[in-house]
Structure 1
Amino acid sequence: MTVRQDPAPLTRHLRVRDDRGRTVLRFHGEIDLAAADEIAPLLDRATARPGARVVLDLSGITFLDASGLRLLTRARNRVLDEGGELHLVCSHPLTLRVLRITGLARLLPPRATLDEVMGGPGPA
């Protein structure tokens, strides 16, 4: 049995991998101003391609402030401006509450799991 592993993190807050034709960005830890500064260039690179298919996976975060919300909004705008698609994975109750209160959940509806976005479990 083969176990799929994420590649080494590009920063302590972000791992990026390709999965079934999509770029999956998995966020980790606290996404605050310092983390956003580390993440922004990598996020910009992943969302710059025309027609990019991107998944922002927040299942590994423990905190998200306004800087993190700006990252999500920036990614959404960049991907949609280039004719791509963007999905958000988030099930943490406090983060979901912040997304709803700010209205971002209407613009970028969160899915509970990565499998829900990807259409089922990936290869073993």
Structure 2
Amino acid sequence: MQVSVIGNPDDTVVVTVRGDLDDGSDTVLGTTLEQVLDRPAPRVVVDVSGIGFCDSTGLRSFVAGHERARDAGGWLRLAAPGDQLSGLLRVAGLDEVLDVRPSVADALATGTDL
């Protein structure tokens, strides 16, 4: 799995995840999210379009990031999930909990909404 981070001039951050997100790789994502969420009112978009497979440990990272951002007065959004991840979010009921957008551009365009 590969994770990259891009900060934007408006203080939003885009975290891009590529590869499989499972028990062996969720630590990388979790550590990255901890770092980008460690500020007041964080606004983070996680580009999940490149995730081929995700299991419950990956979902746990998204939920923990969402809760941490919310508790700090900010938000975390997932952008562009593929079919496998969309289905997993739906089955787990997390599509009603997490803020999921169809694209990174959409998630950033509404960047000031809390």
Residue 87 of structure 1, aligned match among 56, 65, 77: 77
1:40-71 Cα offsets, whole Å, 9 max, x none, are: 22211111212011111101110100110000
What's the CA shift for 1:89?
0.4
What's the CA shift for 1:85?
1.7
**Aligned-residue CA RMSD (Å):** 1.5
Identity among equivalent positions (%) equals: 28
Equivalence for 1:16: 5
1:80-100 Cα offsets, whole Å, 9 max, x none, are: 010012211023112101001
Q: Give TM-score scaled by structure 2 length.
A: 0.88
Q: Give TM-score scaled by structure 1 length.
A: 0.81
Unaligned runs of 5+ in 2: none
Unaligned runs of 5+ in 1: 1-11
Please identify the structure whose Cα radius of gyration is greater: 1
Pairing 1:94-105 to 2, within 5 Å after superposition: 94-105=84-95
Q: Is residue 112 from structure 1 mapped to residue 112 from structure 2 by the alignment?
A: no
Q: Does the 8 Å CA contact 2:52/2:84 hold for their aligned counterparts? A: no
CA distance in 2 between partners of 1:44 and 1:53 (Å): 13
Query: How many residues get paired?
Result: 109
Local SS of the residue matching 2:39? coil
CA distance in 2 between partners of 1:99 and 1:50 (Å): 27
